[in-house]
């Protein structure tokens, strides 16, 4: 799912103006205290404590081998340490004054960042634990169905011969309309096999890339399954293949059929994994209200307990997630 796979793409990094390193600000920067301790010991500044860019700025030495900016470094580190200590003291004074005037603040009740209930946190949230477990089991069942019906059943893998078509197709720098052709699969991003392939929401969808060789040229296709979904849907009722993919179509070519199955089917063992890292990350970083509309229907659709003696328990858990269809 894009929300998981691209979790670090737009993540902002904190840069400390004191030392230039990432991960903290001047308030908690450890470099001033370390530098001033070195000065007490009669040593020179440790330039390696700075970021790479700051090191380049402060590492110049004179003809005697002494750091050119040593005095400047001591002054800046002394000022930074003094600033940190004055801030700590000011906060301590303000806290004492507020307690004297208004009394100690009431202890805040713990509320769960996932389900929102008071009295526990994420670590002790049964709803969160059940949610991730149910997603893992549903995902594992989805991947099993993907393998049984699409990979093993239809021969979808590297080496398969495909019938392709596109409304617009560019090959050899020439655009064609209503194009059709034949291609051989040369590569598949198998790591994108998860329930996100059934979703069209930008943040929660998964994008499987498939490289095909067409007339000596290699092309990259993204989720080219819309024609297969249409063919496997009769009177609004989806067949097994249609259940595996989103109805939305990505730009580019689509797979109309598999003309010749692959002779190099991957092992079923790899598909037994449940893509669990994704669900655990989502549960730790998102609220149930944010994700339930997208993920609860996947549990209801692919969970192995949706039928049978445990169906009632699953239905109750789905209600806990805010899903009641």
pLDDT in tens, 155-181: 999 999 999 999 888 888 888 889 999
Of 101-110, 143-152, 281-290, 299-308, the poorest mean pLDDT is in: 101-110
pLDDT at 10 over 80: no
**pLDDT tens-digit profile of 198-245?**
998 888 999 999 999 999 999 999 999 999 999 999 888 889 999 999
What is the chain's mean pLDDT, rounded?
91
Of the candidates 277, 315, 286, the one whose C-alpha atom is nearest the C-alpha of residue 128 is: 286
Q: What is the pTM of this model?
A: 0.74
List, for residues 13-52, the tens digit of each pLDDT value: 788 999 999 989 999 999 999 999 999 999 999 999 999 9
For residue range 70-93, what is the model confidence (pLDDT) as tens digits? 999 999 999 999 999 999 999 999
- What pLDDT does 250 receive? 55
Residues 6+ apart with CB under 8 A from 207: 2, 192, 222, 223, 250
Query: Exposure string (b/e) for 48-66, b if CB count within 10 Å is 16 or more?
Result: ebbeeebeeebeeeeeeee
pLDDT tens per residue, range 305-314: 988 889 999 9
Confidence of residue 294 (pLDDT cuts 50, 70, 90): very high
Judge whether residue 110 has pLDDT over 70.
Answer: yes
Q: Of all residues in the chain, what percent carry a pLDDT higher than 70?
A: 98
């Amino acid at each position: 799912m894009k929300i998981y796979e691209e979790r670090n793409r737009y993540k902002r990094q904190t840069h400390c103006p004191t030392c230039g390193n990432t991960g903290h600000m001047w308030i908690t920067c450890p470099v001033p205290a370390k530098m001033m301790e070195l000065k007490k010991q009669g040593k020179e500044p440790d330039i390696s404590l700075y970021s790479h860019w700051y090191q380049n700025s402060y590492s110049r030495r004179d003809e005697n081998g002494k750091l050119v900016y040593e005095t400047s470094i001591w002054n800046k580190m002394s000022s930074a340490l003094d600033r940190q200590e004055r801030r700590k003291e000011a906060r301590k004074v303000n806290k004492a004054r507020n307690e004297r005037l208004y009394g100690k603040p009431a202890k805040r009740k713990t509320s769960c960042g996932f389900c929102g209930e008071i009295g526990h946190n994420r670590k002790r949230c049964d709803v969160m634990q059940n949610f991730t477990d149910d997603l893992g089991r549903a995902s594992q069942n989805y991947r099993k169905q993907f393998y049984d019906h699409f990979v093993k059943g239809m021969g979808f893998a590297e080496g398969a011969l495909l019938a392709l078509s596109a409304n617009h197709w560019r090959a050899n720098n020439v655009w064609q309309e209503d194009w059709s052709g034949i291609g051989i699969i040369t590569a598949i991003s198998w790591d994108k096999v998860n329930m996100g392939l059934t979703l069209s929401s930008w943040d929660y969808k998964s994008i499987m890339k498939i490289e095909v060789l067409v007339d000596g040229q290699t092309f990259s296709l993204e989720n080219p399954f819309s024609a297969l979904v249409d063919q496997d849907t009769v009177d609004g009722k989806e067949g097994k293949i249609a259940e595996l993919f989103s109805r939305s179509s990505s730009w580019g070519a689509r797979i109309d059929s598999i003309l010749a199955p692959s002779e190099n089917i991957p092992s079923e063992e790899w598909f037994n994994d449940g893509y669990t890292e994704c669900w655990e990350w989502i549960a730790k970083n998102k609220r149930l209200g944010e994700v339930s509309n997208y993920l609860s229907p996947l549990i209801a659709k692919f969970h192995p307990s949706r039928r049978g003696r445990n169906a009632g328990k699953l239905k109750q858990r789905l209600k806990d997630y805010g899903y009641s269809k």
